[in-house]
């Protein structure tokens, strides 16, 4: 038979073994929780990176929109200037045709001046249409963005 001390020692050893097993199980459980938390952390970091990229892309789009709006304003100013030139040329054309002399030389000279003005007027009209088309294209690009 075992002595009383040996029995106590065996019981303590068994208790320690059981406690050690429980602690090992807790360590494994905590390691698993730690792994899950690391995975969640990685996922959150990926989401954060995506959000930052989206914000960056959004900022790029805003910058692009501002540039397009600036171009539109410049083109609108050019159109306004061309319109003013067209109106000025039309009024010059009307005033010169009303005051033309009846001599053949004067008429030929006036007709040549009128032809030049008509050509300039046509060129300005074409340029004006081109600028208007550019503004429409830029407005479409802004809508797409």
Confidence of residue 1 (pLDDT cuts 50, 70, 90): low
3-state helix, strand, coil in the chain (%, to 5): 95, 0, 5
Euclidean distance between CA atoms 106 and 124, whole angstroms:
26
Euclidean distance between CA atoms 120 and 123, whole angstroms:
5
Euclidean distance between CA atoms 121 and 130, whole angstroms:
14
Mean pLDDT of 42-47: 93
Check residue 1 and report its DSSP letter.
-
| pLDDT tens profile 85-133 | 888 888 877 777 665 554 555 555 556 666 777 788 888 888 888 888 8
* pLDDT (0 to 100) of residue 34: 95
Q: For the chain, what are the domain ranges?
A: 4-144
Euclidean distance between CA atoms 63 and 73, whole angstroms:
15
Higher pLDDT, 41 or 100: 41
* The pTM of the whole model exceeds 0.75: no
Euclidean distance between CA atoms 84 and 78, whole angstroms:
10
């Amino acid at each position: 038979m075992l002595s009383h001390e040996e029995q106590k020692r065996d019981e303590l050893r068994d208790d320690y073994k059981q406690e050690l097993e429980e602690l090992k199980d807790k360590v494994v459980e905590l390691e698993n929780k730690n792994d899950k938390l690391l995975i969640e952390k990685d996922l959150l970091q990926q989401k954060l990176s995506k959000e930052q990229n989206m914000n960056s892309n959004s900022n790029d789009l805003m910058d692009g929109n501002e540039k397009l709006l600036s171009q539109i304003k410049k083109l609108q100013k050019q159109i306004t200037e061309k319109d003013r030139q067209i109106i000025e040329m039309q009024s010059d054309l009307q005033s010169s045709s009303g005051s033309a002399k009846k001599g053949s030389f004067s008429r030929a000279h006036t007709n040549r001046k009128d032809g030049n003005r008509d050509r300039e007027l046509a060129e300005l009209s074409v340029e004006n249409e081109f600028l208007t088309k550019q503004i429409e294209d830029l407005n479409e690009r802004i809508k797409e963005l």
